[in-house]
């Protein structure tokens, strides 16, 4: 079984500054995907960024980038130039790349979440 | 883009009654759908995996007779909370995996708030 750990229950940052959210995971799988999801007060789950484990290059999406350390099983999210709209709960999530039976592919294991508040 | 719709977004029911929540993929076929439960300020916990045309697979500790899941078509999965009690009050959210052509992207519904009074 996989586990995902986010050790920062809450974080805060000033607008325009940079913040890094931590995530570690544990798995025996060699091929998998990692995600960061944003959940604003509306509760809609919004995909922020995705990383394929077989790719060494860190994924980036505009102001969002990850530091993927496969050997250390670490997957942190860096938000640059923070904006008020970034205020939300952020979840790190793990998904196996291949499911032998094919029936549970797409199952996500989530971390505990980090509440990020961006202050003006 | 692909959209997953959940209905109702909010529902209040009396203790002892049953309530049904729908999860529908609007523009793609979803072989597999997932149901999660989320308490305030907590993470999403997987309840069950719903596969079209077969029985759902429930996670450990989830009562299958209480949380009935039906995935009768490639675009619709339903979660029925039977004999609901106040402790079942929670936010329920579904996700869907596209059958083909959309890679490995998982799409989430908007979620449903259930309040049992």
| CA dist., res. B87 & res. B36, Å (int) | 16
Contact residues, chain A to chain B, C-beta under 8 Å: 33, 42-45, 47, 89, 91, 95, 97, 103-113, 115
In this predicted structure, what is the pLDDT of residue B104? 63
Give the list of residues 6+ apart from residue B85 with CB closer than 8 angstroms, or none. Answer: B15, B16, B116
In this complex, which of B43, B95, B104 lies closest to A113 when CB atoms are compared?
B43
- Please tell me whether residue A34 adopts helix, strand or coil conformation: strand
| Whole-number Cα distances in Å, B11 to B43, B57, B108, B114 | 21, 25, 19, 5
> Which tops the pLDDT comparison, A57 or B102?
A57
What pairing do the DSSP bridges indicate for beta strands B30-38 and B44-51? antiparallel
Q: Which tokens go with A40?
A: 């604003």
Is the Cβ–Cβ distance between B31 and B52 less than 8 Å? yes
Residue with the bigger pLDDT between B116 and B41: it is B116
**Distance from C-alpha of A49 to C-alpha of B70, rounded to nearest angstrom:** 31
Could you tell me where the beta strands, DSSP code E, fall in chain B? 4-7, 10-13, 19-25, 30-38, 44-51, 57-58, 67-73, 76-81, 90-98, 106-108, 112-116
Query: Any CB–CB contact under 8 A between B95 and chain A?
Result: yes
The pLDDT assigned to A106 comes to 84
Cβ contact (<8 Å) for B34 and A111? no
**pLDDT over threshold 60, residue A101:** no
- Asked if B93's CB is within 8 angstroms of A113's CB, the reply is no
- Secondary structure (3-state) at A84: helix
Record: contact A44-B54, CB cut-off 8 A:
no
**What residue has token string 């998982």?**
B106
For the segment A14-19, the average pLDDT, to the nearest whole number, is 98
Q: How confident is the model at residue B100 (pLDDT cuts 50, 70, 90)?
A: low
DSSP state of A86: G
Alpha carbon of residue A52 to chain centroid: 12
DSSP string, B6-39: EE-SEEEE-TT--EEEEEEESSS-EEEEEEEEE-
Q: What percent of chain A clears pLDDT 70, i.e. is strictly above it?
A: 94
Contact B111 A44 (CB under 8 A): yes
Cβ count within 10 A of residue B105: 14
Chain B nearest C-alpha distance from A112 (Å):
5
Q: Which of A47, A95, A105 sits opposite B32 (nearest CB)?
A: A105
pLDDT for B103 beyond 60: no
Predicted pLDDT at B30: 85
* B97 or B95: which leads in pLDDT: B95
The whole-number pLDDT of residue B2 equals 62
Does the CB of B97 have a partner CB in chain A at under 8 Å? yes
Q: Please state the rounded mean pLDDT for residues B44-52.
A: 92
């Amino acid at each position: 079984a996989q586990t995902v750990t986010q050790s920062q229950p809450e974080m805060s940052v000033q607008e325009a500054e940079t913040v890094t959210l931590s995530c570690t995971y544990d798995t025996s799988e060699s091929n998998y995907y990692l995600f960061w999801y944003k959940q604003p007060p509306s509760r809609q789950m919004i995909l922020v960024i995705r990383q394929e484990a077989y790719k060494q290059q860190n994924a980036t999406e505009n102001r969002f980038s990850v530091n993927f350390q496969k050997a250390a099983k670490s997957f942190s999210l860096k938000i640059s130039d923070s904006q008020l709209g970034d205020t939300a709960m952020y979840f790190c999530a793990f998904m196996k790349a291949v499911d032998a039976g094919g029936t549970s592919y797409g199952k996500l294991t989530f971390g505990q979440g980090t509440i990020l508040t961006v202050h003006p | 883009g692909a959209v997953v719709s959940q209905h109702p977004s909010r529902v209040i029911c009396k203790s002892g009654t049953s309530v049904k929540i729908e999860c529908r993929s609007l523009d793609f076929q979803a072989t597999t759908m997932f149901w999660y439960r989320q308490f305030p300020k907590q993470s999403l916990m997987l309840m069950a995996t719903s596969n079209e045309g077969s029985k759902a697979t429930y996670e450990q500790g989830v009562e299958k007779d209480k949380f009935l899941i039906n995935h009768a078509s490639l675009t619709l999965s339903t979660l029925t909370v039977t004999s609901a009690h106040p402790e079942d009050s929670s936010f329920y959210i579904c996700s869907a995996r596209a059958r083909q052509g959309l890679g490995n992207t998982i799409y989430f519904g908007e979620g449903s708030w259930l309040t049992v009074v």
